[in-house]
Amino acid sequence: AHGPMKTDPNYPYVSQCQNGACLGGNYRPPIVDTKDPILKPWAAKHMQETNEEALSGKMAIPFTSQSRCWPGGVPGQLLFLQPMYFIQTPKQVWMIWERDNFVRRIYLTDQHSKNVKPSWFGESIGHYEGGDTLVVDTIGLAGGKNHYIDSFRTPHTEKLHVVERVT
């Protein structure tokens, strides 16, 4: 497995900020390693442009969906430190975030809908394995401007397909 994106080794990330809220005055957004081989060329180019804006000082605080009170998408919403709750019914599992009351619904069914309309959280279907692991398969994630999979602002298209395991 690849693991998460990393910062550029030439620009180690040191910040007193969490979720974009600075506790000091020394905030610089993370500078991502755009040479990571997992990145498609168009994504690396987009991220390098963001890096250059941050390093030039043009960008005080980069766009994050949470800083605009938008959902963080999948799996990005899970990266922000905030209380969240799981509610389980026989046919659905709801993930509810305390801040902004975002709700992501995971349908406990065996297949995706035929025509999924792209959205922030897409369409998630799930099943349990081993009694304690919820496997969530998500498609239909809206792509394009301001849709990222992480706090490094890694872009994606509407073809993104995410599989998560929650134990």
Q: 34-57, pLDDT tens digit by residue?
A: 999 989 999 999 999 888 888 887
C-alpha 103/C-alpha 122 separation (Å) is 12
Looking at the DSSP bridge assignments, the partners of residue 7 are: 32
Closest-CA residue to 146 (of 54, 50, 60): 50
Closest-CA residue to 151 (of 76, 97, 46): 76
- With beta carbons less than 8 A apart as the criterion, state whether 15 and 118 touch: no
pLDDT in tens, 64-118: 666 666 777 787 777 777 788 999 999 999 999 887 778 999 999 999 999 999 9
Burial 91-100 (b: 16+ CB within 10 A, else e): eebebebeee
Closest-CA residue to 159 (of 116, 99, 109, 101): 116
